[in-house]
């Protein structure tokens, strides 16, 4: 039988399948055609079964399904670490959402959220997170634009985070638009108006 042509063949990986039996394929290989995994098996069998347009040697690496972050605030990416620093200095004041998070997000412009999205999603990809749930924030269209950008140029962003020789994480970003939202979803404009109304209260309480 002629070897099957595939787009990518990952070799020499320790494959964690997370199937019902928690199968681990040691010294395994994965064949990818288009955006689908078409075969997982032993590395020794891969060469006779497939011819690949690209081969990735994952020696010393683990191949597993992407991680899922179930609560992300894209617009707060550039605030990361600041609250911890304030806490270490004993200057953190409650409630955090009112004193820091809402005032911070309410001062952002669309381009700020777009850049925050690029940083957030590239960081996710670098540690194997391939799916996330946005918990809410300003300018969601800019978040989508950033996710599109990461999806189209994923290798470039990963290479910017790691030396090329160490860039062995594979990923794919899928953006899904919800056609029938569950529950009440506020338009961006009304969300910003409500957030802006809280800012004077938050600033007054911190002064």
pLDDT band at 94 (very low <50, low <70, confident <90, very high): confident
116-164 pLDDT per residue, tens: 999 999 889 888 888 899 998 999 999 999 998 888 776 554 555 444 4
| DSSP secondary structure letters along 148-162 | HHHHHTHHHHHHHHS
Q: Find residue 15's DSSP bridge partners.
A: 25, 63
pTM above 0.85, yes or no: no
> How far from 185 is each of 26, 114, 118, 132, CA to CA, in Å?
46, 21, 24, 18
pLDDT score recorded for residue 168: 39
Q: Higher confidence at residue 113 or residue 186?
A: 113
Measured in whole angstroms, how far is the alpha carbon of residue 107 from the centre of its chain? 24
Go through the domains of the chain in sequence order and give each one's CATH number. Answer: 4-63 (2.30.40.10), 67-206 (no CATH)
pLDDT score recorded for residue 99: 87
Query: In the predicted model, what is the mean pLDDT of the chain?
Result: 79
């Amino acid at each position: 039988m002629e070897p099957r042509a595939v787009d990518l063949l990952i070799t020499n990986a320790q494959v964690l399948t997370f199937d019902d039996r928690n199968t681990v394929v040691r010294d395994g290989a994965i064949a990818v055609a288009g955006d689908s995994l078409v075969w997982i098996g032993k590395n020794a069998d891969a060469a006779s079964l497939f011819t690949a347009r690209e081969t990735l040697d994952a020696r010393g690496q683990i191949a597993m399904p992407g991680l899922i972050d179930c609560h992300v605030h894209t617009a707060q990416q550039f605030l990361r670490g600041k609250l911890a620093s304030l806490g270490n200095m004993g200057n953190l004041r409650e409630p955090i959402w009112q004193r820091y998070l809402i005032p911070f997000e309410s001062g952002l412009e669309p381009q700020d959220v777009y850049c925050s999205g690029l940083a957030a999603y590239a960081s996710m990809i670098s540690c194997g997170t391939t799916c996330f749930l946005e918990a809410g924030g300003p300018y969601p269209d800019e978040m989508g634009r950033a996710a599109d950008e990461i999806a189209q140029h994923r290798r470039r962003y990963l290479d910017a985070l790691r030396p090329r020789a160490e860039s062995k994480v594979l990923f794919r970003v899928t953006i899904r638009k919800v056609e029938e939202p569950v529950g009440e979803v506020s338009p961006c404009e009304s969300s910003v108006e409500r957030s802006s109304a809280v800012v004077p209260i938050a600033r007054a309480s911190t002064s």
